Amino acid sequence: MLLGPPGWTMPVCEVDLRIGGHYRYVWRHASGTDMGRGGIYREIVVPERIVSTERFDESWYPGEAVGTVALVERGGKTTLTHSVLYESPEALQTVLESPIESGVAAGYDRLAKLLASGV
């Protein structure tokens, strides 16, 4: 997988990028463990923003989340901001206590290297 943490691949990547369209990702660890996630695109504003729901197959936090990816271009550089709104304070607390930050950071680090390589 190009954008995930080391040791993980992405055997499933389905994207119907339109309002109301679905997406589904499945990451597979070298140990054979799968982690699936999917949702629906709620808003798409090219080239500024994508808003979608998020639910894991085996969710480790309660409820559904809504993620927003915002892209802002200034002086020839684009800044990506990804924010997530969780259904409850309990869900947010569960996420904050999880190792998700390191996995997401590893993915963005790999994206930065890919972009820097000119691919």
Higher pLDDT, 3 or 108: 108
DSSP code of residue 86: -
In the predicted model, what is the mean pLDDT of residues 112-118? Answer: 88
pLDDT of residue 47: 95
Helical ranges in the chain per DSSP H: 89-96, 100-116
| CATH code for the structural domain at 8-116 | 3.30.530.20
Domain boundaries, the chain: 8-116
pTM exceeds 0.75, yes or no = yes
* Nearest-angstrom CA–CA distance, 70 and 91: 23
pLDDT tens-digit series, residues 18-36: 999 999 999 999 999 999 9
* Structure tokens belonging to residue 118: 């000119």
In the predicted model, what is the mean pLDDT of residues 70-87? Answer: 95
Higher pLDDT, 99 or 57: 57
